[in-house]
Amino acid sequence: MLRFFDIKSLILYFRNLNQRVMKHLTMIIFLLIAFSSIGQSLNTDERLLKKFSQEEINSMSEEDLKFEIFCLDNSFTIENYSDNKEENNFPLNGGRKIENLNNINLEDLNIKIKDDIQYFKISYEQKVLVVKSLNQLKEEYKKSIK
């Protein structure tokens, strides 16, 4: 039992209390870090799972993960296309049938981002899918994080 009239006992009591608090605080911090990394894997952008396994996503650095998500959102544009060859400056890489122009995933279309810009005529539309080059995406990403 603690005797308040004994200064040595009081100092010893607070030292022990301080050590117990530090142990608990350390454990809490460790658990928060562990749960945050589990939370990261649970909050994975579902579109990434078409390109990577969950294990690959979990092993990615935060910077690589952010870049991949940036690519999902910014890797292409849709431009108007005319059958008049004089109006088109697009060296077509082929054509693709796209059901919903508002929900495009390059993995679904079997298109990989390359070093060069790619152009795909969209079937049944007077439009072309313009896939940006890897270098373009890297530059745009750098600008977006500044």
| Rounded Cα–Cα distance for residues 126 and 77 (Å) | 14
* pLDDT (average), residues 22-34: 70
Q: Indicate whether 42 pLDDT > 50.
A: no
Most confident residue range from 39-43, 52-56, 106-110, 114-118: 114-118
pLDDT of residue 1: 52
**14 vs 45: which has the higher pLDDT:** 45
pLDDT of residue 36: 59
3-state secondary structure of 21: helix
Q: Indicate whether 18 pLDDT > 70.
A: no
How far is CA 69 from each of CA 47, 118, 135, rounded to the nearest angstrom? 8, 20, 16
Q: Indicate whether 2 pLDDT > 60.
A: no
| Rounded Cα–Cα distance for residues 46 and 114 (Å) | 22
Sheet hosting strand 127-131, strand order edge to edge: 76-80, 127-131, 118-122, 95-96
* pLDDT (average), residues 116-140: 93
* pLDDT (average), residues 110-139: 93
